[in-house]
């Protein structure tokens, strides 16, 4: 529940103050929330918020602040939203870089090749990463036609837990 009469300017000041108080882990948790809100991606935001909830524990101060952020941010003018992005990026340059990358490229998904989603690669680049099975092992075809063996045990695998 937001405070009656709290202006969007005051809300923005609170968010910047709270961001300054966030631990490194809390900033990592806030990153996808802010990116989803900035990118106007409600499905991504809902999935991120579901991961932050704790069913059997009392709500933390951090969770309350995220809840307020989700109530406030959509009501702000674009200028205020921009000021939040600039403010947090000025406070933590690394966070700002990660935020811009997440807004532009979206979250890293299972199946990404070296951090790049193959769906966004040009067709000639996809051929380089396209595996095929040949006998006992999997191989990768390079664009120039040379083959390079890829042992099955050296393929990076990312596992995401379902909530």
pLDDT in tens, 124-158: 444 444 444 444 444 444 444 444 554 555 555 55
Structure tokens at 155: 């393929």
For the chain, percent of residues with pLDDT exceeding 70:
53
Angstrom distance (rounded) from CA 9 to CA 68: 14
Model confidence, pTM: 0.57
Radius of gyration of the chain measured on its C-alpha atoms = 21
Q: 98-128 burial by CB neighbour count: b if 16+ within 10 A, else e?
A: bbeebeeeeeeeeebeeeeeeeeeeeeeeee
* Predicted confidence band of residue 29 (pLDDT cuts 50, 70, 90): very high
- pLDDT of residue 36 exceeding 80, the answer is yes
pLDDT digits 0-9 by tens, 73-96: 999 999 999 999 999 999 999 999
pLDDT at 97: 96
Q: Where are the domains of the chain?
A: 8-105, 111-163
């Amino acid at each position: 529940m937001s405070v009656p009469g709290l202006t969007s300017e005051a809300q923005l000041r609170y968010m910047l103050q709270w961001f300054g108080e966030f631990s490194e882990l809390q900033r990592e948790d806030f990153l996808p929330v802010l990116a989803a809100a900035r990118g106007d991606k409600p499905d991504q935001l809902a999935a991120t918020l579901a991961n932050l909830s704790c069913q059997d524990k009392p709500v933390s101060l951090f969770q309350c602040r995220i809840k307020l952020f989700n109530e406030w941010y959509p009501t702000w003018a674009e200028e205020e939203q921009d000021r939040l992005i600039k403010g947090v990026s000025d406070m933590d340059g690394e966070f700002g870089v990660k935020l811009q990358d997440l807004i532009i490229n979206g979250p890293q998904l299972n199946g990404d090749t070296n951090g790049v989603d193959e769906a966004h690669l040009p067709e000639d680049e996809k051929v380089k990463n396209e595996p095929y099975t040949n006998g006992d092992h999997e191989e990768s075809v390079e664009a120039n036609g040379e083959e390079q063996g890829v042992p099955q045990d050296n393929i990076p695998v990312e596992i995401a837990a379902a909530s």
